[in-house]
Each structure stands twice: as C-alpha cells, then as structure tokens.
Amino acid sequence: MKDYYYFLGISQDASEEDIKKVYRKLSLKYHPDKNENDDFFAERFREIQEAYEILSDKSKRRTYDQNLESHQKSFRYNIPPSIKTFTANKIHAKKGEEIIINWQTQNADVVKVLPFGLEKPYGERIFKITEFKDGKFQILLHATNSLLHKTAVQGITITEVFESEGEKFREKAEEMFKSQPRTAMNPHGQPKIFRIIMAVLLLILAIYFLVKNL
C-alpha cells in the first residue's frame, strides 16, 4: 500500500495547511516544465499529485487513514527489514548504455531505489546512465520498516567505461570547464579550471612575496 505521507515527507497528523504548503513546494520542484525529459522527476511529480489528491480531501483522507492503519497492523512489524537481493547486469558501462537492476526485500513497507524514488518491495528497472560523477554512478536500495523505524541499505556502483583514452581525456576536459553547482565556497558556480588557475596564481604570488622578503 502506498504511503502518501511518506511521498510528501509529512507526519500522519499533518494539518490541511501543512499539506498544502508541502504540496506547493514539491510540485514546483518536480514540475515537468522545469525538468524536461527526466523520468525521475516526472514520476515523483505524479506521486506528489496522487498523494495530494487523497490527503487534501477530508473524506478520502479518512478512508485512506483507516486502510493504512489496517495495513500497518497486518504487516509483520516485529521483524526488521532486509534485502535478499540487489543486483545489476553490469557494473562497468559506457554513458548511454542500458543497465538492468533487480531487487527483492523482506519485511519492508517502504522501498526506495535512489536516484529513482519509491518502488515495490521487489522488481526490475531498466535505465540508461546519462551522467557519471567522477567516473561513477551509484544506486542505493533503501528497505524501511516504518513501524520499527529501521532501514536496510545496500548500494551498487557502476563505473564508467570509455571507448578510448581520447574520449576519456575529452570527458575530463569538459568536466573541468563545466559550471559547478553554487555553494558557499563557490557562490558563482565557477568551473573547476578557473578555481585551479586562481589557486596557482595565489601560490605564485605567495612565493614571490616570500622570496622578495628574504
């Protein structure tokens, strides 16, 4: 049974106003218009819409809460969650290559495969990796028993394979010149190459003044 409170990241005693606030925030974040051609964001947006449709309606929410309580009582709540299997058909892949993952969990009422989102307790997913980070793509399986507040976690790391050394060099060069996410240390999202050049210049200046003072 789907846990709509989990979809929205709220508690079961959340007020109508809390539900509206969270819905507005999440629907803006995951709206398809802002995340074109991204299946993960499209699926999350559908989950958010579905959860809000039920929880924003008093009658539907009351019926849903009763069914959820019944489901939780019948669930094997006294046994911690576990992951029986979590496999990928390959752990080395090129960008754009098709990957197949399979998983099976036990005693978990909330199962999440990151970065894809909520899934069934067992299943299969086929996807293509469009972006590696530092030559790696990590997939995490979270199996949660929400009544025990316990989670089992297992990961798979796919490493990037290049057609040739030239392609590998080009990928690294593109990464050096690509704008980075804005952080406190890098508020303007400057590329790595710019920060390296600045660091080298500062080092040269420091050495110059040190030699000059000697």
Q: Quickly name the fold that domain 82-160 has.
A: Immunoglobulin-like (2.60.40)
What's the whole-number mean pLDDT along residues 171-177? 65
Q: Quickly name the fold that domain 4-74 has.
A: Helix Hairpins (1.10.287)
Torsion of CA 136, 141, 146, 151, to 10 degrees: -80
What's the whole-number mean pLDDT along residues 82-106? 93
Domain spans of the chain, in order of start: 4-74, 82-160, 165-213
The better pLDDT of the pair 158, 110 is held by 158
Confidence of residue 41 (pLDDT cuts 50, 70, 90): confident
How high is the pLDDT of residue 38? 72
Q: Which of 6-15, 72-81, 179-188, 192-201 has the highest mean pLDDT?
A: 6-15
Question: CB of 90 within 8 A of CB of 16?
Answer: no
d(CA 48, CA 42): 10
Answer yes or no: is pLDDT of 165 > 60.
no
Confidence of residue 16 (pLDDT cuts 50, 70, 90): very high
Confidence of residue 173 (pLDDT cuts 50, 70, 90): low
State in Å, rounded, how far the first CA of the chain is from the last one. 74
Could you give the maximum distance between any two Cα atoms of the chain, in Å?
82
The better pLDDT of the pair 143, 146 is held by 143
pLDDT over 70, % of the chain: 84
Please tell me if the domain spanning 4-74 has the same topology as the one spanning 82-160: no
Specify the amino acid at residue 185: M
Any idea which residue has 């309606």 for tokens? 57
Angle, CA of 32, 34 and 191, to the nearest 5°: 140
What's the whole-number mean pLDDT along residues 23-30? 88
Conformation bin of residue 149: beta by default, left when phi > 0, alpha when psi is -120 to 50: left
